[in-house]
Amino acid sequence: MNVAIVGATGLVGGVMIKVLEERNFPVGRLIPVASERSVGKEVRFKDQSFSVIGLEEAVSLKPDVALFSAGGATSLAWAPRFAEAGTTVIDNSSAWRKEPGVPLVVPEVNAHILKKTDKIIANPNCSTIPLVVVLNTLHQRYILKRVVVSTYQSVTGSGMKGVKQLTEERAGKTSPLFYPYPIDLNIIPQGGAFTENGYTLEEIKLMDESRKILGIPDLRITGTVVRVPVLGGHSESVNIELEKDFVLEEVCSMLAATPGVILQNDHSKQEYPMPLYAGGKDEVFVGRIRRDDSLPAGLNLWLVSDNLRKGAATNAVQIAGYLLEKGYL
């Protein structure tokens, strides 16, 4: 497979290359792509160097698959160009996620919707991915009635610019802010621009994408997205109301048996997921599982997942792996 990474010099692009290598994805030729600023830079893959090229040249090489993580504008303009050249695009931006004909996929939940003819496939938002992995298991057995989620999102979710602001503030440097406020020693309850109803764009993505992936268009879900001065991953506090009552032990064992989930829920050992330890891992870590006694069938839990891995690169590579396995690539 000839594999293009569009955004190869970025945070997610770099992790995509690492995950392709770790998973031994059958890469014939790696084609790193970035903006004109980066053309000629070297990218390492399996102890070899590959030169970054521009988008026009990359399209002309007709890669079998292109993993995109170079922002919405690049995806909007270039994903169709690659698709027309016969390349299957797996796009990590939000540009195509809401498009009705474009599958929005978390393999553990809905890989079965993928078809050989899909040429643009959307990779969901970094908070949505771990959330739906957990919600799907609960929905299969108890049926979701309502979900309330609050996120605590790593600065790595904003790409290089978010990480730069945090590290520079920590080093005492005063440079122009990427976020609207200082992020070190602070939390910012804003993810992206505000919309008319008072929600931010990241909150709308979390709610709309969960409905689309789970296939529950009328799911009652509400969210608050918060940026925190953390690197290892996104955390989420999730309150879930179910249609059917449950036994807590059964919920725990079902989540423990969910592919891609690791339970860290031993209260007696103060065991619970934290971004410091989830960083660099591919799984969704779940803990603090307890009843919400204010509801007839209510559940609280806490999840953490590395947003650059399962929240972005790993999920995209898993989609590519599924397509390969099915003979769709």
Whole-number Å distance between alpha carbons of 85 and 61:
9
User: For the window 275-314, what string marks contact with ligand A2P as x by the rule CB under 6 A?
Assistant: ----------------------------------------
Q: Tell me if 275 sits within 8 A of 305, measured CB to CB.
A: no
Residue written as tokens 């609960």? 138
Distance of closest approach, residue 266 Cβ to ligand A2P, in angstroms:
36
11 binding ligand A2P? (CB under 6 A): yes
The phi, psi pair for 204, rounded to 5°, reads -65, -40
Which of 66/102 has CB closer to ligand A2P?
66
Whole-number Å distance between alpha carbons of 71 and 77:
11
The tokens for 267 are 């209260």
Q: Which residues are catalytic?
A: 126, 234
Which of 55/262 has CB closer to ligand A2P?
55
Which of 6/304 has CB closer to ligand A2P?
6
* Paired sense of beta strands 284-292 and 298-305, if any: antiparallel
Whole-number Å distance between alpha carbons of 98 and 224:
20
Which of 160/248 has CB closer to ligand A2P?
160
Site for ligand A2P in 32-71 (CB under 6 A): 34-35, 37-38, 55, 70-71
Whole-number Å distance between alpha carbons of 65 and 320:
8
Distance of closest approach, residue 78 Cβ to ligand A2P, in angstroms:
8
Whole-number Å distance between alpha carbons of 130 and 303:
8
Pick the binder of ligand A2P from 27, 30, 74, 89 (CB under 6 A). 74
Binding footprint of ligand A2P on the chain (CB under 6 A):
7-11, 13, 34-35, 37-38, 55, 70-71, 74, 159-161
